[in-house]
Amino acid sequence: MSKERREFFRFDVSLPVYFEPLNSSDVCLQIDKADLIEPAEAENLMEANSQLEYLFEDEIHLQNGGVKLFDEFNQKLTFMAWLLESLVEGKDPEMHPKFQQRMHDQAQYKRPEGKGTSKIIPLLQALYLRIDNTILECVDIVSKNIGGRVFMYHKPLGTLFNSQDYIANLGVLANQGNWLSSVIEKLIFKFNYYETLLNNAVSDNKCNLEIGRAS
């Protein structure tokens, strides 16, 4: 009877490792948000938010339900922004005492529905889906974090939302003072601002792996 033979194969594997120090709060020192977005764009975001607040005070659209619909869009965007900014700053959103409540609240919003040939509904549905997908991406990043300190971005870059794929003259109508077009344009700008932030974080993310504490 032949003796049992065991063969062992050796594989040489090279793994790139990036060491990065922790800050005083034991958070991996990730990229500064100011390095991801141009200051002028941050100012434009503040202006867009201010204009949205003004538009949401319109009495006619408060009565006809328009403000309620788009305020829900804005609340989803605000939640998305909070998630993303937390990740960029190296903070675990799940540790926030209101994380689960915020997750529950934004999940109650429904995608807009409509009948007829209006191009507005397909645009709103597409924008709503993009917001939802970005929220899911952020939640996925949170769920796969390392020690509540390291957040890895693992999906390819996304494209910015283009209203011209649905309505060619949305910007023109907004400049003419059309309430509906103005609100949608501001919401799209807000989404694209944070989509750019996410894309830049994906491109520039360095903190892929933390091993011990670098001094």
Given a cut of 50, whether residue 212 has pLDDT beyond it is no
pLDDT tens digits for 35-52? 677 888 889 999 999 999
Sorted by where each begins, the domain ranges of the chain are 36-204
From residue 174, give the alpha-carbon distance in Å to each of 54, 123, 177, 187: 14, 15, 5, 12
In this predicted model, what pLDDT tens digit does every residue of 163-209 receive, in sequence order? 999 999 999 999 999 999 999 999 999 999 999 888 887 776 543 33
Mean pLDDT, range 118-142, rounded to an integer: 90
pTM of the complete model: 0.78
Nearest to 194 by CA among 69, 103, 88, 121: 88
Question: pLDDT by residue (tens digit) across 73-91?
Answer: 999 999 999 998 888 877 8
Amino acid type, 13: V
pLDDT range class, residue 117, cuts 50, 70, 90: confident
